[in-house]
A and B are shown apart, each in its own frame.
Chain A
Amino acid sequence: MSTQLLTVSPSPHVSSQLTIPQIMRAVIFAMLPALAISVYNFGLSAIIVTLTAVVSAALFEYVIALYLLKVKPNLMDGSAIITGMLLAFNVPANLPWWIVIIGSAVAVGVGKMSFGGLGNNPFNPALVGRVFMLISFPVQMTNWPVPTFAKVDAVTGATALGALKEGLLLGKTVPEIMPELPSYSDMFFGFQGGSVGEMSALAMIIGLIYMLWRKIITWHIPISNLVAVAIFSGIFYLINPDRFASPIFHLMTGGVLLGAIFMATDYVTSPFTHKGMIIFGVGIGLITVLIRLFGGYPEGVSFAILIMNAFVPIINKYTKPVKFGTKPVKL
């Protein structure tokens, strides 16, 4: 007979094994292939940028929680690490370290902790940091290093998207520009310029499959987002192939995959229900395509996600689940 007192608690007495630290760890795992490609392309600098971002994000979270919010800092939930990694994934590998730290401060401080910490932020913190850096340091943020093993050296200091936009502004047509850009297979495997985490479509898809398998995310946001990008860019491509690039090009360049798989799926800033998630994903896809094709910036994923983040509360309001017992009974 044991002498210890019995524990009494309300039901349920079991819980699922998937908890926040495990989810965060799985997301970090899912991002590793992309990081590996980046290290292959840019060498040590990719690691330095990532480490700087992760360490500074964790540090800012700890300090802000302890001294400003006066709550117990909880780094074990892993969210600061993910914010740091995503921030690094969104910047060029040669970004000066002090800009990375400023970006981390904004991402964690303004993007997350100012709203009360994990779970309360309306916008994706990493994107808040990224957009802040893009606006404040446009030169450094749009000057990408040349990949060490790049097969095509036509792209120097700009991404394929940037080159396309530039070419179009110079009056060239898409078919004229395309040969200067990396081939689709290079894009797929990641032999192209770009931010730390967004080069290889393959690495992103591996991450997506892993997260789907671990049931971290559902397919609704990434797939609806990607399909929307494909459809909307496809429509314009069909209208005028000289002026607009093909959907495959749009899917594999820039941050579309990174955004759809890792940024838009952030629990905190995406809708609750599957229906809401699909609306959210399609919205991001549409805005991304509009910015890319008609906007001033060559890339629009960050803005698209932030804009749709703002719509999440209203999406949640109009996509409430259907209550059981509202269907009329047919005897």
Chain B
Amino acid sequence: MSQEILYTVLLLVALGALAAIILYWVSQKFKVQENPKLEEVMDALPATNCGGCGFAGCSGFASALVNADDLSPYHCPVGGNEVMQEVASILGKEVQEKDPFVAVVKCAGAIGVRVHTTNYDGAANCSIASDLYSGERGCSDGCVGLGECVDACDFDAMYMDETTGLPVVIEDKCTACNACVTTCPKNIIDLWPKGKRDKKIYIACVNEEKGGTARKECSMACSGCAKCADECKYDAITVENDLAKIDYDLCKLCGKCVVACDVRNIVADGFKPEMIDKLAEKREARLEKEKEAKRLEREKAKAEAAAAKAAKEEVSDKSE
């Protein structure tokens, strides 16, 4: 009995040892020579493999970083400046700070705002629907509403708002990895600087059709009236193809354009409503004042004309 146990144990030990030797030999034989820094960089990266850096995954990005002479073209949006600093210190190189970005949805064409024209009944995928036809709702440039961006998000930073039918970005979770931006077949999602105290101003429309046509399909559409551009002192807003665009590098977040928009489709994120109200009041007051001034001017002109006429009559009277 004891002998049996002994043999069993011995046999197992021998088998184990043999397997260990084979495994060791194989691992030595097929060992891949790696830059030791690569592993360190890999550890520093967030390992989300989201592709936001432009590479297929973190390992591709890491090897690019290790082999790069200059780190400035590379940025990990998920890890942000912190991680890039760490990577730079591992590699002994310099890296510049970059402003954090978040995704914004440039469409305000919610359910009810756009005309409902047909019912789509195919695979629930925005690209498939938008390849098929102009869409369930008016404005073929607007959000399809099937949530492909939400599916593309690796960070649970988006959800579909059921009442509006539009996607919503949860800014705290958004890493600006660009996945939703490239996924959206209508190109309505854009990356925007997170801004000081999370303040940002953008135009929630991408429709380039003529004002009247666009408004017929969506009551929130940008008609290209350029009132916002007139309001902007910093030349941050340009109107092209009946669509206003904000250049975030020039925008000083003053908020004046927000209240200039007829349909209030310039989104002022992170602004207090009171501030917007105040701006609106100010604008209202200014417009009133301008109107008043114009009226006065008109009256003055009228009075002058009357005076001139009177003077003329007087002259003619005298001449009689």
Contact = CB atoms under 8 A, between A and B. Distances in A.
Do A and B touch directly, given a CB cutoff of 8 Å in the complex? yes
A8 B116 contact: no
A7 B132 contact: no
A10 to B, nearest CB: 5
A17 interface: no
Interface string B207-249: 0000000000000000000000000000000000000000000
A6 B116 CA distance: 11
A5 B128 contact: no
B128 A8 contact: no
Interface residues of B, number: 12
Interface of B: 116-123, 128, 132-133, 136
Nearest to A4: B119
Across the A-B interface, give the 4 residue pairs with the lowest CB-CB distance, nearest first: A9-B121, A9-B122, A10-B122, A8-B118
B118 A5 contact: yes
Given A5-B117, A10-B132, 13 more contacts: A5-B116, A5-B119, A6-B119, A7-B121, A8-B119, A8-B120, A8-B121, A8-B122, A8-B132, A8-B136, A9-B120, A9-B122, A10-B123
A7 B128 contact: no
Interface residues of A, number: 6
Among A7, A8, A10: residue with most chain B CB under 10 A: A8
Contacts of B117: 5
A10 B131 CA distance: 9
A10 B121 CA distance: 8
Contacts of A10: 122-123, 128, 132
10 contacts: A5-B119, A6-B118, A7-B120, A8-B118, A8-B121, A8-B122, A8-B132, A8-B133, A8-B136, A9-B122
Contacts of A6: 118-119
Interface string A1-39: 000011111100000000000000000000000000000
B139 to A, nearest CB: 16
Nearest to B120: A8
B10 to A, nearest CB: 29
B264 to A, nearest CB: 29
Among B119, B123, B128: residue with most chain A CB under 10 A: B119
A1 B84 CA distance: 64
A8 B131 CA distance: 12
Contacts of B121: 7-9
Contacts of B118: 5-8
A224 to B, nearest CB: 36
B6 to A, nearest CB: 30
A5 B116 CA distance: 8
Nearest to B117: A5
Nearest to A13: B121
Contacts of A8: 118-122, 132-133, 136
A137 B230 CA distance: 85
A234 B132 CA distance: 59
B118 to A, nearest CB: 5
Contacts of A5: 116-119
A9 B128 CA distance: 10
